[in-house]
Chain A
Amino acid sequence: MDDEAKTRCAQTVKLLGEFLDRELTTCEIETVQGHLDRCPPCLKVYRFEERVRRLVRVHCASDCAPSDLREQILARLKRPSLS
Protein backbone atom coordinates (compact mmCIF):
# COMPACT_ATOMS: atom_id res chain seq x y z
CA MET A 1 0.00 0.00 0.00
CA ASP A 2 1.49 3.37 -0.95
CA ASP A 3 1.69 6.26 1.48
CA GLU A 4 -1.12 8.17 -0.13
CA ALA A 5 -3.49 5.23 0.21
CA LYS A 6 -2.44 4.76 3.84
CA THR A 7 -3.19 8.39 4.54
CA ARG A 8 -6.63 8.07 2.97
CA CYS A 9 -7.36 5.02 5.11
CA ALA A 10 -6.15 6.76 8.27
CA GLN A 11 -8.27 9.82 7.48
CA THR A 12 -11.31 7.69 6.84
CA VAL A 13 -10.95 5.69 10.06
CA LYS A 14 -10.48 8.92 11.99
CA LEU A 15 -13.79 10.24 10.62
CA LEU A 16 -15.79 7.04 11.24
CA GLY A 17 -16.99 8.21 14.66
CA GLU A 18 -18.44 11.42 13.28
CA PHE A 19 -19.66 9.54 10.22
CA LEU A 20 -21.66 7.12 12.38
CA ASP A 21 -22.86 10.01 14.53
CA ARG A 22 -24.14 11.74 11.39
CA GLU A 23 -22.15 14.82 12.24
CA LEU A 24 -20.30 15.17 8.93
CA THR A 25 -21.34 17.42 6.09
CA THR A 26 -22.87 15.91 2.96
CA CYS A 27 -19.58 16.41 1.16
CA GLU A 28 -17.57 14.68 3.89
CA ILE A 29 -20.09 11.83 4.03
CA GLU A 30 -19.64 11.28 0.30
CA THR A 31 -15.88 11.20 0.71
CA VAL A 32 -16.08 8.59 3.48
CA GLN A 33 -18.70 6.53 1.62
CA GLY A 34 -16.63 6.65 -1.54
CA HIS A 35 -13.61 5.35 0.30
CA LEU A 36 -15.56 2.59 2.07
CA ASP A 37 -16.95 1.45 -1.28
CA ARG A 38 -13.44 0.91 -2.58
CA CYS A 39 -11.57 -0.21 0.52
CA PRO A 40 -12.62 -3.53 2.10
CA PRO A 41 -10.23 -3.22 5.10
CA CYS A 42 -11.74 0.17 6.06
CA LEU A 43 -15.21 -1.23 5.49
CA LYS A 44 -14.42 -3.94 8.04
CA VAL A 45 -13.39 -1.32 10.58
CA TYR A 46 -16.62 0.51 9.87
CA ARG A 47 -18.69 -2.65 10.40
CA PHE A 48 -16.91 -3.33 13.68
CA GLU A 49 -17.46 0.21 15.00
CA GLU A 50 -21.06 0.11 13.91
CA ARG A 51 -21.59 -3.25 15.56
CA VAL A 52 -20.08 -2.20 18.90
CA ARG A 53 -22.26 0.87 18.86
CA ARG A 54 -25.35 -1.19 18.12
CA LEU A 55 -24.52 -3.56 20.98
CA VAL A 56 -24.31 -0.61 23.36
CA ARG A 57 -27.56 0.85 22.09
CA VAL A 58 -29.53 -2.38 22.18
CA HIS A 59 -28.35 -3.54 25.58
CA CYS A 60 -28.51 -0.19 27.33
CA ALA A 61 -31.89 0.75 25.90
CA SER A 62 -33.59 -2.38 27.19
CA ASP A 63 -34.24 -1.18 30.74
CA CYS A 64 -37.70 0.23 31.43
CA ALA A 65 -38.68 2.34 34.40
CA PRO A 66 -40.34 0.32 37.20
CA SER A 67 -44.11 0.36 36.80
CA ASP A 68 -44.76 2.17 40.08
CA LEU A 69 -42.29 4.99 39.38
CA ARG A 70 -44.69 6.80 37.11
CA GLU A 71 -47.45 6.76 39.73
CA GLN A 72 -45.05 7.86 42.46
CA ILE A 73 -43.92 10.85 40.43
CA LEU A 74 -47.44 11.92 39.51
CA ALA A 75 -48.57 11.52 43.12
CA ARG A 76 -45.69 13.63 44.40
CA LEU A 77 -46.21 16.52 42.04
CA LYS A 78 -49.89 16.73 42.95
CA ARG A 79 -49.05 17.45 46.56
CA PRO A 80 -50.10 21.01 47.39
CA SER A 81 -46.63 21.93 48.64
CA LEU A 82 -45.25 21.73 45.13
CA SER A 83 -47.70 23.99 43.39
Chain B
Amino acid sequence: MPVVTVVPRQGYSQSVMTLSESPRQPRAGVPPEERESFFEREVMQHLDALYRTALRMTRNPQDAEDLVQETMLRAFRFLDRFEPGTNLRAWLFKILTNTYINRYRKASSEPRVDSLDDSDGETSLYRYLDNEAASRGGSVEAQVLDRFAEQDIKTAIEALPPQYRITVLLADVEGFSYNDIAEITNVKKGTVMSRLFRGRRLLQKALVDQARSAGFAGGKQ
Protein backbone atom coordinates (compact mmCIF):
# COMPACT_ATOMS: atom_id res chain seq x y z
CA MET B 1 0.00 0.00 0.00
CA PRO B 2 1.57 3.29 -1.02
CA VAL B 3 2.02 6.09 1.50
CA VAL B 4 -0.03 8.40 -0.67
CA THR B 5 -3.13 7.26 -2.49
CA VAL B 6 -4.60 9.10 -5.42
CA VAL B 7 -7.06 7.68 -7.93
CA PRO B 8 -7.52 8.99 -11.47
CA ARG B 9 -10.73 10.78 -12.34
CA GLN B 10 -13.41 8.45 -13.64
CA GLY B 11 -13.41 8.75 -17.40
CA TYR B 12 -13.81 12.07 -19.13
CA SER B 13 -16.55 14.46 -18.23
CA GLN B 14 -18.97 15.44 -20.91
CA SER B 15 -18.51 18.64 -22.76
CA VAL B 16 -20.29 21.40 -20.91
CA MET B 17 -22.35 23.12 -23.55
CA THR B 18 -22.42 20.81 -26.52
CA LEU B 19 -25.48 18.71 -27.07
CA SER B 20 -25.64 15.05 -26.28
CA GLU B 21 -25.58 12.81 -29.34
CA SER B 22 -27.63 10.16 -27.65
CA PRO B 23 -30.45 9.09 -30.01
CA ARG B 24 -32.72 8.59 -27.00
CA GLN B 25 -32.71 12.31 -26.34
CA PRO B 26 -33.51 13.90 -29.68
CA ARG B 27 -34.78 17.10 -28.06
CA ALA B 28 -32.31 19.50 -26.51
CA GLY B 29 -32.93 21.54 -23.42
CA VAL B 30 -35.31 21.51 -20.49
CA PRO B 31 -38.92 21.68 -21.78
CA PRO B 32 -40.68 24.99 -20.96
CA GLU B 33 -43.27 23.36 -18.71
CA GLU B 34 -40.52 21.80 -16.57
CA ARG B 35 -38.35 24.87 -16.40
CA GLU B 36 -39.45 26.20 -13.01
CA SER B 37 -39.41 22.89 -11.21
CA PHE B 38 -36.06 21.95 -12.74
CA PHE B 39 -34.64 25.29 -11.69
CA GLU B 40 -35.84 25.04 -8.11
CA ARG B 41 -34.89 21.40 -7.78
CA GLU B 42 -31.57 21.22 -9.65
CA VAL B 43 -30.15 24.68 -10.28
CA MET B 44 -30.73 26.16 -6.82
CA GLN B 45 -28.65 23.38 -5.26
CA HIS B 46 -25.58 25.15 -6.60
CA LEU B 47 -26.39 28.53 -5.08
CA ASP B 48 -23.84 28.37 -2.25
CA ALA B 49 -21.01 27.25 -4.55
CA LEU B 50 -21.82 29.98 -7.08
CA TYR B 51 -22.05 32.58 -4.33
CA ARG B 52 -18.74 31.75 -2.67
CA THR B 53 -17.00 31.84 -6.05
CA ALA B 54 -18.72 35.14 -6.91
CA LEU B 55 -17.57 36.51 -3.57
CA ARG B 56 -13.93 35.73 -4.38
CA MET B 57 -14.38 37.09 -7.90
CA THR B 58 -15.93 40.42 -6.90
CA ARG B 59 -14.35 40.65 -3.43
CA ASN B 60 -17.50 42.28 -2.17
CA PRO B 61 -20.73 40.72 -0.77
CA GLN B 62 -23.14 43.11 -2.51
CA ASP B 63 -21.48 42.68 -5.91
CA ALA B 64 -21.40 38.92 -5.33
CA GLU B 65 -25.15 38.87 -4.70
CA ASP B 66 -25.79 40.92 -7.84
CA LEU B 67 -23.52 38.67 -9.88
CA VAL B 68 -25.22 35.50 -8.63
CA GLN B 69 -28.68 36.96 -9.26
CA GLU B 70 -27.77 37.84 -12.81
CA THR B 71 -26.16 34.43 -13.32
CA MET B 72 -29.24 32.62 -12.05
CA LEU B 73 -31.62 34.68 -14.17
CA ARG B 74 -29.53 34.01 -17.25
CA ALA B 75 -29.40 30.31 -16.41
CA PHE B 76 -33.18 30.30 -16.15
CA ARG B 77 -33.57 32.00 -19.52
CA PHE B 78 -31.07 29.64 -21.15
CA LEU B 79 -32.47 26.44 -19.65
CA ASP B 80 -33.90 25.49 -23.04
CA ARG B 81 -30.29 25.19 -24.18
CA PHE B 82 -29.21 22.99 -21.31
CA GLU B 83 -29.21 19.28 -22.04
CA PRO B 84 -30.43 17.39 -18.94
CA GLY B 85 -27.92 14.74 -17.94
CA THR B 86 -24.87 16.81 -18.88
CA ASN B 87 -22.78 18.67 -16.34
CA LEU B 88 -25.16 21.26 -14.87
CA ARG B 89 -22.65 22.49 -12.32
CA ALA B 90 -20.04 23.26 -14.97
CA TRP B 91 -22.71 24.87 -17.16
CA LEU B 92 -23.69 27.21 -14.30
CA PHE B 93 -20.09 28.11 -13.54
CA LYS B 94 -19.58 28.91 -17.20
CA ILE B 95 -22.49 31.35 -17.07
CA LEU B 96 -21.12 32.81 -13.82
CA THR B 97 -17.67 33.29 -15.32
CA ASN B 98 -18.99 34.84 -18.54
CA THR B 99 -21.27 37.15 -16.58
CA TYR B 100 -18.43 38.21 -14.33
CA ILE B 101 -16.13 38.94 -17.26
CA ASN B 102 -18.81 40.90 -19.14
CA ARG B 103 -19.88 42.83 -16.13
CA TYR B 104 -16.79 43.58 -14.10
CA ARG B 105 -13.78 43.21 -16.28
CA LYS B 106 -14.66 45.39 -19.23
CA ALA B 107 -13.50 48.54 -17.50
CA SER B 108 -10.43 47.27 -15.72
CA SER B 109 -7.39 45.89 -17.41
CA GLU B 110 -5.83 42.77 -16.02
CA PRO B 111 -2.66 43.23 -14.00
CA ARG B 112 0.43 41.83 -15.62
CA VAL B 113 2.20 38.95 -13.96
CA ASP B 114 5.44 39.01 -15.89
CA SER B 115 7.37 39.58 -12.72
CA LEU B 116 6.89 36.00 -11.62
CA ASP B 117 10.03 34.09 -12.40
CA ASP B 118 9.48 30.40 -12.79
CA SER B 119 12.53 29.78 -14.88
CA ASP B 120 14.10 27.73 -12.10
CA GLY B 121 11.58 24.99 -12.79
CA GLU B 122 10.81 24.52 -9.11
CA THR B 123 7.10 24.09 -8.70
CA SER B 124 6.89 24.34 -4.95
CA LEU B 125 8.13 26.92 -2.50
CA TYR B 126 8.49 24.19 0.05
CA ARG B 127 12.24 23.58 -0.22
CA TYR B 128 12.96 27.26 0.07
CA LEU B 129 10.68 27.60 3.07
CA ASP B 130 12.08 24.45 4.61
CA ASN B 131 15.59 25.90 4.53
CA GLU B 132 14.43 29.11 6.13
CA ALA B 133 12.43 27.29 8.78
CA ALA B 134 15.25 24.88 9.54
CA SER B 135 17.67 27.75 10.04
CA ARG B 136 15.32 28.99 12.73
CA GLY B 137 15.02 25.57 14.27
CA GLY B 138 11.47 24.71 13.30
CA SER B 139 9.25 23.32 10.61
CA VAL B 140 7.39 24.93 7.73
CA GLU B 141 4.16 23.60 9.19
CA ALA B 142 4.63 25.27 12.56
CA GLN B 143 6.13 28.50 11.28
CA VAL B 144 4.10 29.17 8.17
CA LEU B 145 1.06 26.98 7.63
CA ASP B 146 -0.28 26.83 11.16
CA ARG B 147 -0.47 30.57 11.51
CA PHE B 148 -2.69 31.28 8.55
CA ALA B 149 -6.17 32.29 9.50
CA GLU B 150 -9.11 32.11 7.17
CA GLN B 151 -8.81 35.79 6.30
CA ASP B 152 -5.12 35.43 5.31
CA ILE B 153 -6.00 32.75 2.78
CA LYS B 154 -8.89 34.76 1.38
CA THR B 155 -6.76 37.89 1.11
CA ALA B 156 -4.05 35.97 -0.75
CA ILE B 157 -6.60 34.44 -3.15
CA GLU B 158 -8.25 37.79 -3.78
CA ALA B 159 -4.89 39.38 -4.56
CA LEU B 160 -4.38 37.05 -7.54
CA PRO B 161 -5.04 38.45 -11.02
CA PRO B 162 -8.63 37.51 -12.00
CA GLN B 163 -7.87 34.80 -14.57
CA TYR B 164 -5.50 33.04 -12.20
CA ARG B 165 -7.85 33.47 -9.27
CA ILE B 166 -10.81 31.99 -11.13
CA THR B 167 -8.78 29.04 -12.39
CA VAL B 168 -7.36 28.24 -8.95
CA LEU B 169 -10.82 28.51 -7.33
CA LEU B 170 -12.42 26.24 -9.93
CA ALA B 171 -9.73 23.63 -9.37
CA ASP B 172 -8.94 23.85 -5.66
CA VAL B 173 -12.26 24.85 -4.15
CA GLU B 174 -14.79 23.50 -6.62
CA GLY B 175 -12.80 20.46 -7.74
CA PHE B 176 -13.41 20.81 -11.48
CA SER B 177 -11.28 18.83 -13.93
CA TYR B 178 -8.90 20.60 -16.33
CA ASN B 179 -11.27 19.82 -19.19
CA ASP B 180 -14.21 21.37 -17.36
CA ILE B 181 -12.19 24.46 -16.44
CA ALA B 182 -11.08 24.84 -20.06
CA GLU B 183 -14.73 24.75 -21.10
CA ILE B 184 -15.89 27.09 -18.32
CA THR B 185 -13.22 29.72 -18.94
CA ASN B 186 -13.10 29.39 -22.75
CA VAL B 187 -9.42 28.54 -23.01
CA LYS B 188 -7.34 25.53 -24.02
CA LYS B 189 -6.44 22.89 -21.45
CA GLY B 190 -2.78 23.91 -21.70
CA THR B 191 -3.73 27.45 -20.67
CA VAL B 192 -5.64 26.08 -17.68
CA MET B 193 -2.57 24.15 -16.62
CA SER B 194 -0.23 27.11 -16.91
CA ARG B 195 -2.68 29.38 -15.08
CA LEU B 196 -2.95 26.84 -12.28
CA PHE B 197 0.79 26.47 -12.08
CA ARG B 198 1.45 30.20 -11.94
CA GLY B 199 -1.63 30.99 -9.88
CA ARG B 200 -0.67 28.51 -7.18
CA ARG B 201 2.87 29.82 -7.12
CA LEU B 202 1.65 33.38 -6.81
CA LEU B 203 -0.64 32.27 -4.01
CA GLN B 204 2.17 30.55 -2.14
CA LYS B 205 4.32 33.60 -2.65
CA ALA B 206 1.61 35.88 -1.25
CA LEU B 207 1.19 33.61 1.79
CA VAL B 208 4.92 33.55 2.41
CA ASP B 209 5.07 37.34 2.14
CA GLN B 210 2.27 37.60 4.68
CA ALA B 211 4.01 35.19 7.02
CA ARG B 212 7.23 37.11 6.60
CA SER B 213 5.70 40.48 7.33
CA ALA B 214 4.13 38.92 10.41
CA GLY B 215 7.55 38.00 11.67
CA PHE B 216 8.57 34.74 10.06
CA ALA B 217 12.01 34.39 8.48
CA GLY B 218 14.22 37.35 7.88
CA GLY B 219 12.48 39.84 10.11
CA LYS B 220 13.71 40.75 13.56
CA GLN B 221 11.41 39.50 16.21
Residues of chain A at the chain B interface (Cβ within 8 Å) = 10, 13-14, 16-26, 29, 32-34, 36-37, 43-46, 48-49, 51-53, 55-57, 59-66, 69-70, 72-74, 76-78, 82
B126 within 8 A of partner (CB): yes
A52 touching B157, Cβ below 8 Å: no
A22-B6, A36-B4, A37-B3 known; A63 and B196 CB under 8 Å? no
Q: Mark B103-135, 1 if CB is under 8 A from A, else 0.
A: 000000000000000000111101101100000
Contact A77 B72, beta carbon cutoff 8 Å:
yes
**Contact among A22, A69, A78 with B7 in the assembled complex (CB-CB below 8 Å):** A22
Is A56 a contact partner of B168 (Cβ separation < 8 A)? Answer: yes
Quote the shortest CB–CB distance from A80 to chain B (angstroms): 13
Question: CB distance A76 to B145 under 8 Å?
Answer: no
Q: How far is the CA of A18 from the CA of B56 in the complex (A)?
A: 24
- Residues of B contacting A19 in the complex (Cβ-Cβ under 8 angstroms): 6
Q: How far is the CB of B198 from chain A (nearest CB, A)?
A: 11
Point out the residues of chain B lying under 8 angstroms from A20, CB to CB: 6
In the complex, what residues of B have CB within 8 A of residue A56's CB? 153, 157, 168, 172-173, 203
Q: Is B9 an interface residue (CB 8 A)?
A: yes
Determine if B40 is an interface residue (Cβ-Cβ < 8 Å). Answer: yes
Count B-side interface residues using an 8 Å CB cutoff: 57
Cβ contact of A65, chosen from B7, B9, B51, cutoff 8 A: B51
Residues of B within 8 A of A62 (CB): 52, 150
Of the candidates A17, A24, A70, the one whose C-beta lies within 8 Å of that of B196 is A17
Taking CB atoms and an 8 Å cut-off, the chain B residues in 123-176 that contact chain A are 123-124, 126-127, 129-130, 140-141, 145, 148, 150, 153-154, 157, 168-169, 171-173
- Residue B184 CB within 8 A of the other chain: no
Complex-state Cα separation, A59 to B73, whole angstroms: 28
State A48–B212 Cα separation when bound (angstroms): 17
The closest CB in chain B to the CB of A51 belongs to B145
* Cβ proximity bits B62-100 to A, threshold 8 Å, 1 near / 0 not: 000100110011001100000000000000000000000
15 A-B pairs whose Cβ atoms sit less than 8 Å apart in the complex: A13-B123, A24-B8, A26-B8, A32-B6, A33-B5, A37-B2, A37-B4, A48-B126, A52-B204, A61-B52, A69-B68, A70-B47, A74-B44, A77-B76, A82-B77
Contact of B3 (CB < 8 Å), options: A43, A61, A74:
A43
**Once bound together, how far apart are the Cα atoms of A44 and B148, in whole Å?**
19
**Residues on A with beta carbons closer than 8 Å to the beta carbon of B196:** 17, 21
Question: Which residues of A are found within 8 Å of B193, using beta-carbon distances?
Answer: 18
